[in-house]
Amino acid sequence: MKPPPFSYAAPTTLADAIGLLTEHAEAEPRVLAGGQSLIPLMNFRLAKPGYLIDLRNVAGLSGIRREGGTLVIGAMTRMSEVERSPEVAVAAPLLAEAVGLVAHTPVRNSGTVGGSLAHADPAAELPAVALASDAELVATGPTGTRQVGAAEFFTGPFSTALAPDEILTEIRLPVWAGGHAFVEFSRIHANFAVVGVAALIDLDGDRIRRAALALTGVAPTAIRATAAENVLAGTDVGDVAAAAAEAAGAAVEGLTPAGDLHASPQTRLALARTYVRRGIELATSRARNER
């Protein structure tokens, strides 16, 4: 189908974009980044914003830079740019691996990092990356800028902590030097994953110093698996197979995923166990090889 009619502006400054959000609040405005999630929803008429504020002409929202121990990615940075960036490959390899699993190249050429995070699809990869990485999301509104931790950012399916007059402008990821893995199950290559797992493993000698795990597809938002992380902390790398299996059990404990056309709740839980285990094993083996 064709999208419903809407009014449109492509302001050149962030202040103007935020001003338009307030000014046209009654039209239920939406911010347009790459449009790769929003426009399909509009074509299906599942989304009917009366006003679109396109960020493409706002300077300074795109780009990748290092600030000491932090990798800073502008919200309008295209996925394909992240995928090709040597800086991301070194400082945030988990993000690089996850971005490669987002749809296909033509979608990644338009789709943006900030757009995916602000859209907050519970099946999407990037929210899990943000959670596992302890990313900070920078929101700019009429009164200035604030940082929201990933753990507080995702509040529900397609819902975030962004206020109606705020725009996500930057993603700040702590630089990661340990092992990483983003693994997922999807029925067809590059489709939305049924279940996805982001895993970060940091070693201290032969022991796991710290593990960070996040899952998609098993709850209304991407979730952090703290109980599983606690199982892994202090484990000898020689015992990682057994510890990963135990952690996988802890990761799904208490989860009640919804079933749908793609997978029943039981299937999702079984997949989550398997992929948590695989994620831990891969991230651990990479951590050992990178020393």
Partner 1 sequence: MAPTTCTISLTVNGHPHVAEVEPRRLLVDFLREDLGLSGTHIGCEHGVCGTCTVLLNGASIRSCITFAVQADGAEISTVEGLARGGEMHPLQDEFSEKQGLQCGYCTPGMLMRACEIIAENPDPTPAEVRSAIASNLCRCTGYQFITEAVIGAAARMRATKEVAS
Taking alpha carbons only, the member of 12, 55, 13 closest to residue 30 is 55
* Min CB(43)–partner 1 separation in Å: 5
Dist. CA 232–CA 218, nearest whole Å? 21
Angle at 193 between CA 75 and CA 232, to 5 degrees: 85
Among positions 135-174, residues that touch partner 1 (CB under 8 A) are none
* Min CB(60)–partner 1 separation in Å: 18
14, 107, 203, 237: which one binds partner 1 (CB under 8 A)? 107
Residue 1 binds partner 1, judged by CB under 8 A: yes
Q: Which of 40/69 has CB closer to partner 1?
A: 40
Dist. CA 55–CA 32, nearest whole Å? 6
Edge-to-edge order in the sheet of strand 70-74: 64-67, 70-74, 167-174, 136-141, 144-149
11, 14, 39, 246: which one binds partner 1 (CB under 8 A)? 39
Residue 2 binds partner 1, judged by CB under 8 A: yes
Q: Which residues pair with 213 in a beta bridge?
A: 199
Q: Which of 62/80 has CB closer to partner 1?
A: 80
Q: Which of 184/229 has CB closer to partner 1?
A: 184
Q: Which residues pair with 54 in a beta bridge?
A: 32
136 contacts 148 by C-beta, under 8 angstroms: yes
Taking alpha carbons only, the member of 101, 122, 128 closest to residue 224 is 128
Among positions 77-106, residues that touch partner 1 (CB under 8 A) are 80, 103-106
* Beta carbons within 10 angstroms of residue 72's beta carbon: 17
Q: Which residues pair with 211 in a beta bridge?
A: 201
Residue 235 binds partner 1, judged by CB under 8 A: no
* Min CB(228)–partner 1 separation in Å: 32
Q: Which of 50/249 has CB closer to partner 1?
A: 50
Interface residue list for partner 1 (CB under 8 A): 1-8, 10, 24, 27, 32, 35-36, 39-40, 42-44, 51-52, 54, 56, 80, 103-107, 109-110, 189-190
